[in-house]
Amino acid sequence: MSKTSCAVRLENVTKTFYLNNQEINVLKEVSFSIEKGSLNSIIGASGSGKTTLLNIIGALNIPTSGEVWLDNEKISEMSPKQLAWIRSRKLGYCFQSYNLIPVLNAYDNIELPLLITKTPQEERKERVQELLELVGLSHRDTHKPHELSGGEQQRVTIARALANSPEVLLADEPTGDLDEKTGERIISLLLDINKSISQTLIMVTHDKSIADLTDNIFEMHNGRLVDLH
């Protein structure tokens, strides 16, 4: 893979946590790259380091050693201020528990990242409407999170994550809180988005049958990453 077609690249990334004077080596020399527009899953047992790895790719945490590149920028050496800029423009997050703002309706939740990047009002309005349509929720725009089903809340999260057209969309167990049928719909939506707008996607999942739908499967094993295909 040439460097310019690389959305994410990790070189010898390690992460060590210290708890009660004990050293926990959660990531051990992890190296891999993700091609732009590709669909990727990370599987592995609970506690194997999947979330830690995703948080490092997502600039939510920094590695103990090693290098992390996002869209050809080395983010592992950036200042907190630079990282905040990267997080709001180059990364989109959707997590198992949605993390929507409870007092804001679907429209306002999706608009939030656009306010952070100071997108002009007209453009914001157009973009939010486009995103609501993309996730099939135009008719639920005024609903607050508690007035939406779990699947609908996850759709809002996906729309919000895509607001600033991120380089990479990260999803940590996006179907973890959903029933099987709703989970399948969320996965098809993510796969459709990957295809229709060539959105690079990295998804953590417990479910091998979901992982089998992706281009590349990586497995975490005790802090080491194995490329399955």
Residues that bind Mg ion (CB under 5 A): 50-51
Which position among 51, 105, 109, 194 is part of the footprint of ligand ADP (CB under 6 A)? 51
Largest CA distance in the chain: 54
In the bound state, the residue with its beta carbon closest to Mg ion is: 51
CA 96: distance to chain centroid? 11
23 near ligand ADP, judged by CB under 6 A: no
Binding partner selected for residue 19 from ligand ADP, Mg ion, none, CB under the kind-specific 5 to 8 Å limit = ligand ADP
Judged by beta carbon, residue 18 or residue 80, the one nearer ligand ADP is 18
Judged by beta carbon, residue 67 or residue 207, the one nearer Mg ion is 207
Q: What's the CA gap between 147 and 155, in Å, rounded?
A: 13
Judged by beta carbon, residue 94 or residue 148, the one nearer ligand ADP is 94
8 near ligand ADP, judged by CB under 6 A: no
Closest CA to 108 of 69, 74, 143: 143
- 3-state DSSP assignment of residue 133: helix
Binding partner selected for residue 49 from Mg ion, ligand ADP, none, CB under the kind-specific 5 to 8 Å limit = ligand ADP
Judged by beta carbon, residue 50 or residue 155, the one nearer Mg ion is 50
Judged by beta carbon, residue 52 or residue 164, the one nearer Mg ion is 52
- Is the distance from CB of 217 to CB of 41 less than 8 angstroms? yes
b (16+ CB within 10 A) / e for 52-87: bbbbbbbbeebbeebebbbbeeebbebeeeebeebb
Interacting residues toward ligand ADP by CB under 6 A: 17, 19, 24, 26, 44, 46-52, 220
